[in-house]
Chains A and B, each alone.
Chain A
Amino acid sequence: MLTYLLRRATMAMVVMVIVSVICFILSNVASDPAMGIAGAQATDEDLAVIREAYGLDRPLPVRYVEYVGGLLQGDFGTSYLSKRPALDMIWERLPVTALLAALSMALALAIAVPLGCAAAVWPNTIIDRLAQLMAVTGQAIPNFWAGLLLIVVFGVQLRWLPISGSATWAHFVLPSITLGTFAMPPLMRLIRAGMIEVLAADYIRTARAMGIRPFQLTFKYALKNAVLPVISLAAVQLGFMLGGSIVVESIFALNGVGYLAWQSMSRSDMPVIQAIVLLISMIYIVLTLLADLLNGVMDPRLRTSRK
């Protein structure tokens, strides 16, 4: 187990280095960062001053080495715009994004698990078809569309819920539904497929023959085994939500990391973009690692095969 952990940690480091190089190069060559800072009206002289003031006139490799040097000391860079440490700006906004992601994931699982189980227990029935329809619909509707539809119905027309901002818990309802319905379909499908497979297994037939009640059979005996791949997928989905909630955060004016990322990109605030990308990839790696460990705990076979 320890070797496995060490190997994963080394891999994670390599991935991080690759991510940092790609991110650094892309954000520097995509557009002129000096113009992002100085604004479109800037003259050539303004740009020259800005380049010098922000050290952008030096060669890319020199800046990269400096950047990595800072990273090793825990310095993720300073925002060009606010002159504040990028990490501080992210920490401030992380709670909003984390809450949104957690609520959305909870909602997605709350729908996906019972629905997936029901579809598997009664395959090819009306229940199964309805569940599949929900999954296809959920996946086919882009989340910005779903978000705006919810805004129109529940915000403008019915006035039940606030449309934008993050002041109260009510502000999180519509965004969580939007993001949750987007994450739900693959989870539901995976549970359905896993359950169908498990329910056909010998031990379930035996259990059934022994007179275990169907409810217990489904949720205690079958689900435990069907849920393993779901944990891995949910971890990836959670990572995706943290990084990919850009659209939802911008629609609902939630001041989270996703919106910060979008904002920083449109203003070429590179240190912040780089810090976000690195942090998100770190979270991704940690989540995947945790999911693997959790799978190992739940399924002894995985532990032995990975020694």
Chain B
Amino acid sequence: MMEFRNLTRILPLCATLLAGTALAAPAFAGPEDQSITIGMGEDFPTLDGYINTARDGVVITMHINDMLIYRNPKTFEYEPLLATAWERIDDKTIEFKLREGVTFHDGSPLTAEDVAFTYNYWADPANGARVQASVSWIDRAEVVDEYTVRVISKTAAPAALEFVAGSLPIYPSDYFESVGAEAFGQKPIGAGPYKVESFGDGLVKLVAHESYYEGGAKRTPSITTVNWRIIPDTATRIAEVIGGGVDWVWNVPSDQVEQLKVVPTLDVALASTLRIAMVTLDAAGRTGDNPLTDVRVRQAVNHAIDRETIVANLVGGDGEVINAPCHPVQFGCEQSAAVVYDYNPEKAKELLAEAGHADGFSVKIGSYRDRARAEAVQSYLAAVGITAELEMLQASPSFSGWREGKVGMWYGDWGSQSLADSSASIGSMFDGSSNDGARDETVIALVKEAAAVSDPEERKAKYAEAIKIITEQAYWVPMHTIVMGYAYTNTLNFEPTLDELPRFYDASWQ
């Protein structure tokens, strides 16, 4: 499959060159009727936001539904959405005051009853919410009065509001109960800026919710119809946007973003995301006794890889080298606390010799996203004598391979569920879970404490301490931030956001 993908990269280039000489016609719809046709890569069997949690699913959920509060992708502050005010009553209880006069797409009013029902329903593991972490902290939700609801967590949950803002859409209780979960996923009703007009055969048609409330953080859409087309193949998606069949695509590989710059009808961007890439190392010896359990070998690996060159040539755009195991914009991600390893293959060889591996050793490295980058790492390792056997797989089996301790190294990435807090990066990858290839007791204790205290300064100090140990011990090779490639018709006003969630209600035609 990966070979296939690599080969397919050549064709969009041809397409670009051809199209660069032609004047692309506009999409079959567009500014005239305030509609947009977008090309997405992932198909979904359901539109239920608690089940359909892939990235494209999260995007469609936020167009159909509203959460109680909104996290501004620029300031990372919480803003009112369905709730106009919220406060922590005690360690475990948050009270939300709901906006009055909000209606669902079927015209029924949104009340505290709907919120409590939605939270309580999905907090029950038996109902199978796919990301249990988003709901498992909820003990229960209680109706106080028609427009007041309290959410009570099982234990103190500093990240609760992140989930409230990010992954807990509010459903109409009456409709949900009357049709059942399965039918709801086929024909959902929400309180978001768009309602679903049709869904099936690789197409979702969204139309603006005409009685969408004013005053929330999301604006009433100026683009009234979103034709959401599922085009799984990247090369085809790119050909469609060049040909004008669709107005907007994403997940464009960085080299092709460069090529697409010559197309006169398109705007392109390689924008920052909250996603980071890293090479994880089996320091705990999960693959059995191996050289990576020696700190000198891990430091050698860190010195062996030229991250600057990889970022400059293979990541591009807004991509940047990271030194700490978290994204620089995340709360608590103090880059200055990290020990930085420069690119120094000689030093790497010395360290390897010191550790008794002057002749190098062999290791398995798993990866999935980008073969070119993985092969670059492979050859940097080869240059210091480490033979890395590359195993390219689909995302899920690749990550399973690391979590189950089948590979000694893994060049993967981590999106932190778009949460701008180190608890979602360091806290998820060094917590003693199967993500954690270091199993450092001190670090585990630090990240657990940092997740439980509420004083921001104290949290920062704990994460800084964790970063120091993680980098001293070279448990990872922190690599770089990941950029997202976009291409869209140049008469569209669209701005990519750091959380990788395109907002079409914010977009408009010029």
List A residues at the B interface (Cβ < 8 Å): 30-32, 35-46, 49-50, 52-54, 79, 81-84, 89, 142, 144-145, 148-149, 151-152, 155-157, 159, 162-167, 247, 250-253, 255, 259, 262-263, 265-268
Contact pick for B182, options A36, A53, A83, CB 8 Å: A83
From A49, A81, A84, A164, contact of B229 by CB (8 A): A164
Residue of B nearest to A269 (CB): B45
Which residues of B are found within 8 Å of A163, using beta-carbon distances?
Answer: 236, 239-240, 243, 245
Tell me the bound Cα distance from A46 to B202 in angstroms.
30
Q: How far is A252 from B235 in the complex, measured between Cα atoms in Å?
A: 10
Q: Choose, from B89-97, B393-401, B479-487, the stretch at the interface.
A: B393-401
Contact with B236, one of A31, A84, A252, A255 (Cβ below 8 angstroms): A252
Q: Which chain A positions have C-beta within 8 A of B397?
A: 30-31
List the one stretch of B124-132, B291-299, B458-466 in contact with chain A. B124-132
Tell me the minimal C-beta distance from A275 to chain B in angstroms. Answer: 14
Contact call A42/B232, Cβ cutoff below 8 A: no
Query: Is B54 an interface residue, CB under 8 A from the partner?
Result: yes
Interchain residue pairs A-B with the least CB separation, the first 9: A82-B45, A31-B397, A46-B132, A148-B11, A156-B243, A253-B231, A31-B400, A255-B202, A152-B15
Q: A166-B202, A253-B231 are in contact. List 10 more A-B contacts (CB 8 A).
A: A44-B433, A53-B126, A83-B51, A84-B45, A142-B4, A156-B242, A163-B236, A166-B201, A252-B236, A255-B201
Other-chain contact of A155, B4, B181, B243, B434 (Cβ < 8 Å): B243
Contact of B7 with A251 in the complex, beta carbons under 8 Å: no
Q: Among the listed B136, B181, B396, which residue makes an inter-chain contact with A35, where contact means beta carbons less than 8 Å apart? A: B396
**CB atoms of B232 and A82 under 8 A apart:** no
Q: Whose C-beta in chain B lies nearest to the C-beta of A32?
A: B400
Give the A-B contact count at a CB cut-off of 8 A.
163
Do B7 and A145 have beta carbons less than 8 Å apart? Answer: yes
9 interchain pairs (CB within 8 A)?
A: A31-B397, A40-B396, A41-B428, A49-B132, A144-B7, A155-B245, A156-B242, A255-B43, A266-B394
Chain B minimum-CB-distance residue to A151: B239
Question: With a CB–CB cut-off of 8 A, which chain B residues contact A38?
Answer: 130-132
| Beta-carbon contact of B400 and A43 below 8 Å | no
B54: A residues at CB distance < 8 A: 39
Q: Which residues of A contact B197 (CB under 8 A)?
A: none
Contact assessment for A267 and B132 in the assembled complex, using a CB-CB cutoff below 8 Å: no
B245 to chain A, nearest CB (A): 6
Q: Would you give the 0/1 interface string for B339-368, flagging 1 where the beta carbon is closer than 8 Å to chain A?
A: 000000000000000000000000000000
Which of B4, B236, B433 meets A43, CB within 8 Å?
B433
In the complex, the answer to whether B243 meets A263 with C-beta atoms within 8 Å is no
Q: A37-B130, A259-B232 are in contact. Are A267 and B43 (CB under 8 A)?
A: no
Are A156 and B45 neighbours in the complex by a CB distance under 8 Å? Answer: no
Cβ–Cβ < 8 Å partners of B125 in chain A: 49, 52-53
